[in-house]
Amino acid sequence: MLDRAYAPYSKFHVGCALLTEAGKMYTGCNVENASYGITICAERSAISAAVAAEGPKMRVRAMVVLNSQTMACSPCGACRQVIYEFGPKSLVIYQGEGKLAEATAEQLLPAGFHF
C-alpha cells in the first residue's frame, strides 16, 4: 500500500493492512490534501474500506502500519480514536525505534471516548 499513497507534500507514504474479526483483510494508504487538515491517514482509510465492505458491525482484530521512511511512527490521535471505536482490544503493530512495536488500541488510547 505504500506505493499507492498520495503524499505529494510530505513525501511521507504510509500503508496499513488490517484483519477483521470476520477474518477479512483490508488495506489503506494516506491521502494528503493541500489543506492538510482534511488529509486521511492510512489507518482510517483501511478502516473505512472495511466498514464499506462489512458494514457498521465490522470489528478490527489486528492492524499493521508502516511508513516509507522506516522511522518510528505510531498512529496519530484521530486514528487511535477510530481504531478504538472498531476494536479497543485490537492489536496495533507499527514502526517503533529500530523495530516493530505493538500495543492494543486501549493501550494507545487509555481513556478512549465511547458512548
**C-alpha distances out from residue 25 to 70, 73, 77, 86, 108, Å:** 23, 22, 23, 15, 22
Using CA atoms, how far apart are residues 31 and 7, in angstroms rounded to an integer?
Answer: 6
Residue 101 has pLDDT above 90, yes or no: yes
* Tens-digit pLDDT profile for residues 20-50: 999 999 999 999 999 999 999 999 999 999 9
**Could you tell me the pLDDT band of residue 2, with boundaries at 50, 70 and 90?**
confident
- Residue 39: the pLDDT is 96
Would you name the residues annotated as active-site residues? 43
Secondary structure class of 38 (helix, strand, coil): helix
What size, in residues, is the chain? Answer: 115
Termini Cα distance of the chain = 33
Residue 42, C-alpha cell as written in the block: 492510512
Are 63 and 90 in contact, with CB atoms under 8 Å apart?
Answer: yes
Give the tens place of pLDDT for each residue, 42-81: 999 999 999 999 999 999 999 999 999 989 999 999 999 9
- Average pLDDT, rounded, for the chain: 96
